[in-house]
Amino acid sequence: MSRWREDTATRLRALRTALREPGPERDALLLLVKAAAATVIAWQFAVQALDSPVPFYAPMAALLVVDRTMVRSLWASAQRIAAVVLGLGVAWAVATVVGVTWWTMFGVVLVALVIGRWSRLGEHGIQVPAMVLLSLITAKGTNEEFTYLTIVETIAGGVIGVATNAIVLAPLHLTRPRQRVAALARQVHDLLEEMAHGLPDEWDHDVARAWYRRGTEVADKAPFVIDDIHTGRESTRFNPRENLRPADIDWEGYEHTVTALRRTLWQVTGIARTLVDAGDAERPEPAPSTTFLSRYAEALSSMAVAVEQFGLHEEAASAAFTQATDSALDVLTELREEVRTTPLQDPDSWPVYGALISESMRAVHDLQASRHAAVVPTDTDPLRPPPSSRMWQGLRRLGGDRRGQTPTKGSGGALP
């Protein structure tokens, strides 16, 4: 009962959030409303226009093709129609040639199951054997009126579902991927900043393990952020809202950003893992000296500043990024030289120093290599420039091209 109450409370909170502010909850609620509306419209169409005695296929098709993007709606509609036509076609062919018996039903269902596993039919492949069974059992497979009406209903339902999805606020997922890219960059920055502040102070095995666990969790989110980026880009295709008011978003820049930050996190978690081993009293790995860690923390702090400016292309942000990465590399180069030339109190500690320096230098080089392709949206960056400014931007770009110049990327992926 308590689990049921928790689930109910969660759904009620999501509903209140959907009604109060835009976001994923409102998108989900709108999708449900559109699916219900498309189902009712398709049902009434089958009853009133097609005079269907059993108006099932049209509303079912409409219900199943309302999806998160127009591309998915169109593809789902095509898959369902193809599955229904294939199923009815197989049933009709077998029933017409050899008739309906137990052994013919076995063969035709087996063939339908094989066809239904065709990857291009997706989740709608199950409709092939389902339609074979319905056709053979209810209409003996040779009833032309049943076959014709079922195909027409399915096509009509698919068209109604796609049209409803397009007309009633066609799904356009632009805000969520922008928010998640910015959040990922912020989380990487915060982790580096926390490690930089913690190393000169009293850190131990548990603190280092918390850094390692946190970095791993953030890195594991990166594929889901990329999925949101793909969904956002996909939502602009065949979308009437996007055609009326296009948004200048650098989707490739977003994806470059996530990929680069994920690589950086791999190095950061490697640093944390080295500290975990060095801080474990039960392992023979020696801990780095306090003097080394104090200087090393300066490099991590500079890396945090670089991540904070990563993907921003204004002049001030570019200068801050360059200064931060140069500062980090200077500190790391000095530490590497000191470790190489200065006798260590514990000769067995050189792998720890080497691992910390190598991981951080690799992270800095990765950030530098990915800087120009990466784009991180900012809170102040407009998602959709007003028409007047878009026209002016177009004239500026045209003028820049005529002068042999190329436009640069804005901080949020919009061309300036």
- DSSP codes joined into one string, 51-67: --SSTTHHHHHHHHH--
Q: What is the pLDDT of residue 408?
A: 38
Q: At a CB cut-off of 8 Å and minimum separation 6, what does 124 contact?
A: 64, 76, 79, 80, 82, 83
Neighbour tally for 333: CB within 10 Å? 13
- Which tokens go with 165? 């999805």
Q: What is the pLDDT of residue 279?
A: 76
Integer Cα distance of 360 and 303 in angstroms: 9
Q: Is the dihedral of CA 204, 206, 208, 211 positive or negative?
A: negative
- Dihedral of the alpha carbons of 70, 13, 183, 207, in degrees to the nearest 10: -140
Side-chain half-sphere exposure of 300, counting CA atoms within 13 A: 27
Q: At a CB cut-off of 8 Å and minimum separation 6, what does 22 contact?
A: 175
pLDDT averaged over 10-residue windows placed end to end, the chain, 416 residues: 69 72 77 93 94 89 90 91 89 82 84 90 88 78 81 93 90 89 96 94 88 96 95 90 77 95 96 88 72 94 97 94 97 92 72 91 96 85 49 43 38 35
Region of 375 please: left (phi>0), alpha (psi -120 to 50) or beta: beta
CB distance 202 to 294 below 8 Å:
no
Q: What is the pLDDT of residue 143?
A: 76
Q: What angle do the packed helices 205-235 and 70-97 form, to 10 degrees?
A: 70
Side-chain half-sphere exposure of 250, counting CA atoms within 13 A: 26
Q: How many residues does the chain have?
A: 416
Amino acid in the structure at residue 124: H
**C-alpha distance from residue 101 to each of 41, 143, 233 (Å):** 38, 16, 51
Q: What is the pLDDT of residue 374?
A: 95
Q: Please, is 125 exposed, middle or buried when counting C-beta atoms within 10 Å of its C-beta (0-12, 13-18, 19+)?
A: buried
- Which tokens go with 206? 């548990």
**C-alpha distance from residue 179 to each of 17, 176, 380 (Å):** 17, 5, 12
CB distance 398 to 366 below 8 Å:
no
Q: 3-39: b or e for each residue (b if 16 or more CB lie within 10 Å)?
A: eeeeeeeeeeebeeebeeeeeebbbeeebeebbebbb
Instruction: Name the fold adopted by 175-239+248-402.
Output: Methane Monooxygenase Hydroxylase; Chain G, domain 1 (1.20.58)
Side-chain half-sphere exposure of 282, counting CA atoms within 13 A: 1
DSSP structural state of residue 404: T
pTM above 0.75, yes or no: yes
Residue 313's φ and ψ, nearest 5 degrees, are -115, 15
Integer Cα distance of 298 and 293 in angstroms: 9
Q: 79-100: b or e for each residue (b if 16 or more CB lie within 10 Å)?
A: bbbbbbbbbbbbbbebbeeeeb
Neighbour tally for 61: CB within 10 Å? 30
CB distance 124 to 64 below 8 Å:
yes
